Structure 1
C-alpha cells in the first residue's frame, strides 16, 4: 500500500508539532522517521493512524482518503486497517499469549475457527511457536514485543506503524529483533513506518530515512545517502559525526579552523551558506604512523584523553587551543600511546564535509523564529 501525506500540519495549542509536511511511501517500503524527541515524528505517525486530528492536510492510503481537512474527511482509527506497535507493548499481563493476540479479532466477533487459525499463523510468523498458552506476565521483554507484533499482524493490516518498538530492550536483544523485524517486513510485503531516535536502528531498518527537525523533514534519502552526505552540521551531529568544527572560508577548496591559523584542504563547498562547520567522522581520521608525514591535511597534536574499548580505542587529540579531534584507533595504538604524547593526525580530503549549521529549510524557520 502506498501512503501519501500532503501539506500536513498539526498543532497542540500554540505549539506546532508538524509543519506543512509532505511525504510519499511506496508499496512494501520501510520508511524511518528519525529525529530527536519533540521533532514531530511520533505526531506524524499518530496522524496516519488516526489518533490525532491534523489542522491541515490530506492523508491517503492506496488512493483511499483517510483524512482531508478541506473536505472534512476523518476516518476513525479502527476503520483505517492500520496496525500499530507501541513502545510500551500494551500487553495484558493477565491474559495468555493466545488471548492477547486474539483480542482484536474477538472484538470484531469473528468465528472461533478463523480466530484460532489467524492467531496460530501470527504467532508462528513472529517466532513464538509453543508459547500460545503461556501467561504474558511470564514473558521476557523481547517476547512481549513479539506478542505486540503478532497482535498487529493478525489484523492483516495494509500498513504497519511502529513507534520506538525496540527502545525498551537491551542492546543484544535490540540487535536481534531489528534483524527479525526487517526480515518479517520483507516476507509479508508490508508498507512500514518506523519512528526512532536511534540512528543505528534507523540505518538497519530503513529503505529510506526521513530526518525530522522542528516538525519538518529536512532530509530524506537512502540510509547510505543520509549517513554519508548529511545536508547540515546539525544533521551530521545527530547521526554521530564526532568532529564538527567551526571554520571560515579561505578559498574554493580550503577552510581555516576558527580562532587559529590552521588551514586544511577540502572538497568544493558553498561558501554562501552562512556559518560553516567542517564535519569529520572519527573513524575516517588517520592516527600516528598511519598518517602520512608530508600532507597539507596532516596536523600535529597532543593526546589529551584515551579510552580503551577492547577491540578498538578512542583518542582525543588537541591540535590547537579550543580545537580537539576525536579519533578512532586500534587496541595496539592504545597500548603504545599515553596522554600527553605528541602524535600526527591526517584528515583525508574526501572525508571532510563543509556544511551549513542548519539545512536550508530549517535555517529559514530558525530565522523566522528569531524575527
Structure 2
C-alpha cells in the first residue's frame, strides 16, 4: 500500500526532531531513510508506526488515515497493521522459533490450523522451517533476526518498517542478510521503510534513498542518482566520498584549492558562500596511466596496506591532503616522503556547496505542540 506523509513535524519542547516533511512511498516500494544519528530518521518511522504523536501533519496508508492533527485522528499502533523489525531482536528465549513467530497470531485469536499454516509458510520464506521446534535461545544472531522478521511478516502487514535491523550483526552476516531482506521485500511486494546510517546498506536495499539532515529530507532519489550526484559536500561526505577539499571560485570551470596556488579544471558549477571539491579516491590515477584532466604533483604521507588494495594519503602544495586508492594492478610505487604525479579527470570532480540551501536555520521559529485525540 502507498504511504503518504504530509507536513509532518515532531517537536519536543524547543527541539524539532522532524520538520515539515512531505514524503510519498509507492506501493511495493522500498525507501531507505539515511542519515547521521539525530537527523530524524527513526523519529519519522516512529510517527508512522504510532509510537510517537506528531505535532502537526497527516499520515495515510492507502486510503486509511492513521494520523491527522487537524482532524484529531490518531490510530493506536496496534490498530495500524504495520510490521516492525527493530535493532534488538526482542525474541522470547523461553519459546521455540515456532512459538515466537506465532505469537502475534495468538494475540489476534487466529485459528490454530490457519496459524500453523501461516507460520510454517513464513518460516520457509526466511529459511528457518527446519528450526521451528528449536529453542530461540539456541539460535545465532542472524537466525534471531530472521525470527524477528518472520514474526512481522506472518501478520500480513500492509507495510513494513525496519529500524537498523542488521546493526548488531557482524559485517559478513550483515552482507548476506541484506541480500535476503531485499529478495524477500521484492518477492512479497511489501511497501517498506528502512532506517539506517550505513550508506552501503542503503544503496543495496533501496528503490529510493531519502537523505535526511536536521529533521528534513535534503535529497531523495534512486541509489545511483544519490551516489553519483549528491546535492552538497556534507551529503557526499556521508556517502563515502573520501576527499572533500575547500576551494575558491576562479571562473565558471576552474577553482583554486584554498590556501594554495593550485588550480583545478572542473565541470561548470554554481557559486555558493562555501564551496568544496569532492573527489572519490578511486578516481585519482597515476599520471602515467591516464591522459587529459588535471595533473598534479603530491607527496606521499602514509600508505595503509589492506591486502588486495591500499590507501595512500598524499599532500598537495599548500597542505591539503587526498586519499588515493591503489591496488596490486595500479600501485603508486612510492613510499612516505616521495613525490608522485597524479591525474584527476575533469568530470571526476564535483564542486558543491557545503550544505543544501534549504537546510533549516537556527533562527527558524518552533511550533507549539497540538493536543491530538486518539481515534
The corresponding residue for 2:190 is 190
Secondary structure of the residue aligned to 1:310 is coil
After TM superposition, list the pairs within 5 Å mapping 1:1-371 onto structure 2: 1-271=1-271, 273-292=272-291, 295=292, 297-331=294-328, 334=331, 336-362=333-359, 364-365=360-361, 368=364
What is the SS of the residue equivalent to 2:10? strand
The C-alpha deviation readout for 1:313-341, integer Å capped at 9, x for no partner, is: 11111112321110101135558421111
**Inter-partner Cα distance in structure 2 for 1:79 and 1:225:** 37
The runs of 5 or more residues in structure 2 that have no matched partner are 366-375
Distance 1:8 1:275, change over 3 A: same
Distance 2:18 2:332 in 1: 50
CA contact (8 A) 1:302 1:317 kept: yes
Higher RCO (CA 8 Å, separation ≥ 6 residues): 2
- The structure whose residues are more often helix, as a share, is 1
Q: What stretches of structure 1 of length at least 5 have no aligned partner?
A: none
TM-score (norm 1): 0.96
For the residue of structure 2 that corresponds to 1:202, the secondary structure is: helix
Distance in 2 of aligned mates of 1:367 and 1:332: 52
Q: Would the alpha carbon gap of residues 320 and 367 (structure 1) be closer, same or farther in structure 2, given more than 3 Å must change?
A: farther
What SS is found at the alignment partner of 1:241? coil
Cα distance between partner residues in 1 of 2:146 and 2:329 = 42
Asked whether the 8 Å contact 1:283–1:328 carries over to 2, the reply is yes
Say whether the 8 Å CA contact 2:245–2:276 is kept in structure 1: yes
The answer to whether the 8 Å contact 1:291/1:344 transfers is no
- Supply the RMSD in Å over aligned alpha carbons: 1.3
Greater shift, 323-332 or 142-151, is seen at 323-332
TM-score by length of 2: 0.95
C-alpha displacement of 1:290:
1.9
Asked whether the 8 Å contact 1:287–1:327 carries over to 2, the reply is no
